[in-house]
Homo-oligomer: A and B are copies of this chain.
Amino acid sequence: MTQLEAARQGLQTPEMAEVARREGLRVEQIQEGLAQGVLVLPANALKKKARPVGIGRGLTIKVNANIGTSSDHIDLEEELTKLQICVEAGADTVMDLSTGGDLPEILRTILSRSPLPVGTVPIYQAAVETIREQGGLVHLTADKLFEVIEQQAREGVDFITVHCGVTLSSLERLKRQGRITDIVSRGGAFLATWMVYHGQENPLFEQYDRLLELARRYDLTLSLGDGLRPGCLADATDRAQVQELIHLGELRTAALEAGVQVMIEGPGHVPLNQIVTNIQLQKRLCEEAPFYVLGPLVTDIAAGYDHIACAIGGALAGMAGADFLCYVTPAEHLKLPTPEDVREGIIAARIAAHAADLARGNAQAWERDRAMALARKELNWEKQISLCLDPEKARKVRSESPPQESEVCTMCGEFCAIKLVRDFLKKA
């Protein structure tokens, strides 16, 4: 039984209880949200994770961090260091997006070490192995793709991105649209080139029932991917993107009917003034399904600092209703991220998520900021540091420039406004 099916039958699983505890909610709220399909609880039926995570309506916004090798950079130890940083820096989930090296072995190792739910994009392994073994992507078969999905599910993957909305019909929209960057999703590009070569429909769409049956068996949460997401601001919210989203809305309904948990992925590169529209559109077309956004990046020219462009977009998306933010690191558009890039990316996304949680009135979020304000008022530095999103970094920065009076910091020194006012009120 999937978490969704259990919820519909009025059952409360240990995972629901744990999510409720961590969110400060009643377990009934989690169960009802699951039953309605407005929240998901990605938890492979075979291998439960130490920290189950709920994503969706009424919950705090969650952050995903992508790790994994590429064909140009294969170092399992480094990826395990990144995994460790994901846990330390407060990511809620990780995705293994490896495309270089022994892919099943890398995934198995990450799954065995991760206390967090793990996601994958199975088309990567299917495509890479087909190219290696048969010399070209065109030799990919539907059976190969479904075999990889089942293999990864058996290993314990909790959620998978499947680009089921890259259909012949949405590719036709793409062609007529005349985009600048066409397709920037790797999974979308694998599928689209295969489809155009063979003149055949996407197997993940055509054999969607087969996918649902697999997903149901392992309680694999489907993350319906946006293979046609815009790769630049000029392509945002175009007919191809919206066509795909319409497909995803329909596919989501079918997943719920089959007892399969499902969320929807969204853009991408989106100008700030189109973000609210994108969220409203997704919430309407996909009937309040949990929304997992990849950014959005609010400019194309911030390479080296794309984690900041992403934090801006993610915060506004979160305020408007997005539920799950995929981080972007400072290395985006330039190279595979280092462990340090991973940390920077996670913290930036967590700031965005927290800012949006505050804007949505989340009580836990407000409690923490209020405690920080009180610690500042009291010039209580230990407490301030412990309340920071990254206490280690805050402690390090402060210690690099120790103030003469321990009550203040070197920014304002003896002319600290809080101290001035406090000392004055004491005397008055």
Residues of A within 8 A of B (CB): 70-73, 99-100, 124, 127-128, 137, 180-186, 188-190, 192-193, 196-197, 231-235, 271-273, 298-305, 307-309, 311-312, 315-316, 319, 330-338, 347-348, 351-352, 354-356, 358-360, 366, 368-370, 372-374, 376-377, 384-385, 387-390, 393-394, 396-398, 400-401, 403-404, 408-418, 420-421, 424, 428
Residues of B near A332 (CB, < 8 A) are 411
> Looking at the complex, which one of B128, B271, B305, B312 makes contact with A393 (CB distance below 8 Å)?
B305
Min CB–CB distance A411 → chain B (angstroms): 5
Inter-chain contact A72/B404, CB cutoff 8 Å: yes
Inter-chain contact B73/A401, CB cutoff 8 Å: yes
A272-B356 contact given A373-B235, A404-B72, A418-B182, CB 8 Å threshold: yes
Residue of B nearest to A392 (CB): B304
Residues of B near A232 (CB, < 8 A) are 369-370, 372-373, 376
A-side interface mostly:
helix
A347-B298 contact given A73-B410, A330-B397, CB 8 Å threshold: no
17 contacts between A and B (CB under 8 A): A72-B414, A127-B415, A188-B417, A192-B421, A271-B358, A273-B358, A298-B359, A299-B369, A300-B373, A301-B368, A301-B372, A304-B393, A305-B348, A312-B315, A316-B316, A331-B397, A333-B409
Inter-chain contact B393/A301, CB cutoff 8 Å: no
> Looking at the complex, which one of B127, B330, B370 makes contact with A180 (CB distance below 8 Å)?
B370
Min CB–CB distance A358 → chain B (angstroms): 5
Inter-chain contact A351/B308, CB cutoff 8 Å: yes
Residues of B near A351 (CB, < 8 A) are 298-299, 302, 305, 308-309, 312
